[in-house]
Structure 1
Amino acid sequence: MEKIEIQKFIALNEEFETANKLVRLGFGELQSINLDNDFYFLPFQLLSQGFERFMKAYICVAYVEKHDILPDFQYIKSLGHDLERLLEEIKLNYYSHYRPVQFEADWQLISDDMNLNELLFILSEFGKLARYYNFDFITGSSKIGINPKEAWRKFENKIKTVDIHTIEKLTNHDVNHEVYQEITNYIINLFERFITALSRQIIWGTLGELGKQLTISSFFDYGTLYEKDFGKTDYRKCTTKYKETPKSIHKRIVSDELNRKFNPDFRSKKIRKCDYKGDWPFYADEIIIECRQKHWCIVTIDGYDYALNGAAKGRYKLENPHDAGMAILGKSIEYFITMALKLW
């Protein structure tokens, strides 16, 4: 393998680091989309750039491993901003098939998953042309791209059909935020699998020792993800807005415990993950649900109270577990609200 100049090594490392930050921020901004925030432009910008930089950096390092020299400017330039084209280049020239079943599953995902292809197409079009869609439309450009926001929403509607249950959720103040979370969780789950499929190649040596060295602090960890790990990360914690927004939670004190134990208007129940038969939505393995005066439902996690339903959120000015980062986005807490109300 060619000994890369230290400046170029640093530059490649920086590209992997930048791509990793862009992808994580993009996931975080995507998880922030809700009924009050439909600013898709930012996650589109972050993810289109993040995926492009990751795949181009991947190709650069894989090229060194294969040809013992860095690719030239014209080769990388010829790949453009087309994410589908970049992925095709990787599949054709820089993807190794190993024996473990997992690698065949990875290959099947990046080759045959139509939903992944559709999402990459939208982001590709955004990166190539569609980020200026409004100006192109306003000025009557002959090279107008797709409307990325419209295409994305069409995809969302496809994976989350508007049935009676969805309508009921959207009109339920307690859980309407979960509809967007379920959609976003599906998309991020798919993108995580995509990044993991390529990162696993790094772990198994397709990019050689150089690839491992350059990704150890960025994408290397993605290569260790498996089925149980996808869709569990709250990437909003990477965003500045989330970090700087104060979280309205309540640290329990002695009087809270006395009320829980002796106040006839308070009823509570401890629930453990190991005893729960459904899809456990909390990061903690044990929680306590509580219903006050047959109306206000809260949940205690690690000594702090959070609002389970909208009534408690309004009365006590508490965050719900999803907004506070204590519950997995895309996993519903609706049944826990029902259980709390049924304590009476």
Structure 2
Amino acid sequence: MNYDPKEIIKYTALLEELETSQKLINLGFGEIQNLSLNNSFHFLPFQLLSQGFERFMKSYICLAFENINGRYPDFNYLKNLGHNLESLLEEILNNYFYKFDRPQYLEDETFLKQNQELKELLFIISEFGKKSRYYNFDLITESKQKPLNTKELWNKFENKYLFKDEKLLNKLFSNETEHEVFYKLNSIIIIIFEKFISALSRQFIFDCLGGKAKQMSVSSFFDFGMLYEKDFGNKDYRKMTTRYNQAPRKVHKRTLVDELERKLNPNFKSKKILKSDYDGDWPFYADEVVIECRNQHWCVITIEGHDYALNGSAKGRYKLENPQDGGMVMMDKNFSAFIDLARKL
């Protein structure tokens, strides 16, 4: 590393940009996962991701440029790149994406170049960052150049999935299952964005962009670079957001009285289920759970010593969170099979 004071300042500034973009992206993903029937505040995740993606890709370009030319790009080069996320990605793919004859790199390149859903979502986020964040003011002031309604575009993207999946659509009309619709739609979008960020992050951590980029990735994008197909959609980013952390968690810590009732009450039927014994896609972070059906009606699940509501009836009676709202279920997983198992008890 060059120890010229100016170079140290530039290095530190780039490191700060990468760390900032990583935090913005994580928070943006968390706010996407927070979207629900009761929270349609799309402005926040759009704002976080438009800033996070732009800063990340511009940092990528600066480091790749320096690795090739021995110096960072000048002001005009970076300014001329603009704020269009699709154009920034195209600049990376055309000039700074290093290819190896290995399946993962080929998959990454194919996804970044050809995935139409990624292009559609980047367009929405990009349009918001450039113009649409002032959409309402443009309407109020009768601006001649009205921007696109990015929230409307986002809803259209989601509806493509919703209306081609009749089973998912039907869940929207039940208080017991409506939350599953939002988890599924949000998860589809998170997976696309995770693939996008992880493909670019692998260029950092596997030394494609030089030693400086590899060093910087340790404190920022290393975890993204280590995401592979089996990992996409599993992380609960909500835990980083203020909205999630400040919401009261409606869970019940079990007591000795609860355990005695589970054993002695003939109307309480329960069963322990281990991940190792389960024949299906295990949805929980914990490796074992206990399902319980009370009076043939109220279905509850115990995870790590706390009770959660499996069905809407139990949620209403006991004022409990379902396990997904409580952060106990992987975000891309469905736990409805455990409701059926509990009812069969």
Task: Please tell me the TM-score bracket, short chain as reference.
Answer: over 0.9
**Consecutive unaligned residues in structure 2, runs of 5 or more:** none
Q: Which residue of 2 aligns with 1:173?
A: 175
What is the aligned counterpart of 2:303 among 288, 301, 304? 301
Task: Check the 8 A contact 1:26/1:46 in 2, yes or no.
Answer: yes
Greater Cα shift, 158-167 or 42-51: 158-167
1:174-228 Cα distance to aligned partner (Å, 9 max, x none): 2210101101101101100100000101122122110011121111221111111
Task: Check the 8 A contact 1:2/1:69 in 2, yes or no.
Answer: no
What is the aligned counterpart of 2:272 among 270, 282, 286? 270
Q: Secondary structure at the match of 1:38?
A: coil
Q: Which residue of 2 aligns with 1:78?
A: 80
CA distance in 1, matches of 2:137, 2:43: 14
1:126-275 alignment to 2 at 5 Å? 126-161=128-163, 163-275=165-277
Task: Check the 8 A contact 1:125/1:146 in 2, yes or no.
Answer: yes
Aligned residues: 343
Greater Cα shift, 166-175 or 147-156: 166-175
Say whether residues 1:69 and 2:71 are aligned partners.
Answer: yes
CA distance in 1, matches of 2:237, 2:47: 16
Q: Which residue of 1 aligns with 2:95?
A: 93
Q: Which amino acid aligns with 1:26?
A: G
CA distance in 2, matches of 1:40, 1:89: 28
Shift in Å, 1:275: 2.4
CA distance in 2, matches of 1:9, 1:273: 46
Q: Secondary structure at the match of 1:305?
A: strand
Q: Which amino acid aligns with 1:311?
A: S
State the Cα RMSD in Å: 1.4
Say whether residues 1:59 and 2:80 are aligned partners.
Answer: no
Q: Which amino acid aligns with 1:61?
A: L
CA distance in 2, matches of 1:269, 1:168: 29
**Consecutive unaligned residues in structure 1, runs of 5 or more:** none
CA distance in 2, matches of 1:78, 1:95: 20
Q: Which amino acid aligns with 2:106?
A: E
CA distance in 2, matches of 1:58, 1:167: 40
Shift in Å, 1:2: 5.7
Q: Secondary structure at the match of 2:175?
A: coil
Q: Secondary structure at the match of 1:287?
A: strand
Taking every aligned residue pair, what percent have the same amino acid on both sides?
57
CA distance in 1, matches of 2:168, 2:234: 22
How does the TM-score come out when normalised to structure 1? 0.96
CA distance in 2, matches of 1:167, 1:240: 30
1:57-78 Cα distance to aligned partner (Å, 9 max, x none): 1111111101100111111111
Task: Check the 8 A contact 2:26/2:237 in 1, yes or no.
Answer: yes
Shift in Å, 1:137: 2.3
CA distance in 1, matches of 2:55, 2:269: 53
Shift in Å, 1:138: 2.5
Task: Check the 8 A contact 1:83/1:124 in 2, yes or no.
Answer: yes
Greater Cα shift, 12-21 or 167-176: 167-176
Shift in Å, 1:162: 5.5
Shift in Å, 1:289: 0.5
1:120-169 Cα distance to aligned partner (Å, 9 max, x none): 01111111111111221222222222110000000001122265423431
What is the aligned counterpart of 1:322 among 319, 324, 334? 324
Shift in Å, 1:244: 2.1
CA distance in 2, matches of 1:330, 1:177: 13
How does the TM-score come out when normalised to structure 2? 0.96
Task: Check the 8 A contact 2:268/2:292 in 1, yes or no.
Answer: yes
Shift in Å, 1:246: 2.4
